[in-house]
Structure 1
């Protein structure tokens, strides 16, 4: 659950679909973007996050701003999904990270 411009919305992160935002009352999808369309993000450290997505048709960047009560949990979730997505696309990602962890633990 999140809010945007005073409306209560539902924000979902799905491994196949990517990011979806829909109206909590009507269940109408307001927007949906794939993981590959996420070009940047920023947050105020409190409740607000700005997500920058690239529109596949126009190539324009669209900014979506959302407010969450537990921003940290949402950001951890998004980062976990992105890391998992990268790992499935790039097998070297997993190898490099396991090597990094071993090196860090040995020091």
Structure 2
């Protein structure tokens, strides 16, 4: 039997979902078991603290598949504008540094007043 796993943002995790895989190594988290049913709200808090998304095993979850698919669709629809803005700003800073470095290089090749 083939496992059906669905990627879900940790903001949409609910009790009864079976977390089959994380977005990072299990060793980087406080979870002892590799794969578990979310049975307590504390587990949801830890998942949100350590992960951005997880993979839910539909077959092993206590929830109907439609509820898990709904959480998946909500995850796909929601984007974090702060993180996207942060990424764009970091790229802009890299470009700015590159351009400044290039102009410093050009000035060393042909200093003003020596030409």
TM-score by length of 2: 0.27
Higher helix share: 2
Higher strand share: 1
Larger Rg: 2
